[in-house]
Structure 1
Amino acid sequence: MKVRVWWSYPEVYTRPEDRYEDIELPDDYTEEEIKREVEEVAFERFEYGYKILTEEEK
């Protein structure tokens, strides 16, 4: 099956053709397997990080 994964960057303009990717998945995938694959594709488009704050930084 073919699945279109889309994402948005609310604060940044992105051309419409750069906001989605079509992926091919096996026809017998469950909803859970599809969701896992879709999230992986979408999350590849974002950079993120975190830092645990010390008492002095709070």
Structure 2
Amino acid sequence: MYWTLRGESSNWRVLHTIYRKLKKLPFVLDLSISLLQLSTFHFALPYYGQKSEQ
């Protein structure tokens, strides 16, 4: 129990630090989201192309 609580608290601290950094840099978050959408679109495009051919 002690180890899981300690692990969760350290994970939360890391997430909190990341969140605080992202709050300071919202454009980085926007950039990563747009990059994610772009890559998803890039991978989905050939799939839809094959689907329309069949």
* Same-fold status (TM-score > 0.5): no
Greater fraction helix: 2
Please identify the structure whose Cα radius of gyration is greater.
2
Bigger relative CO (Cα 8 Å, ≥ 6 apart): 1
| TM-score, length-scaled by structure 1 | 0.32
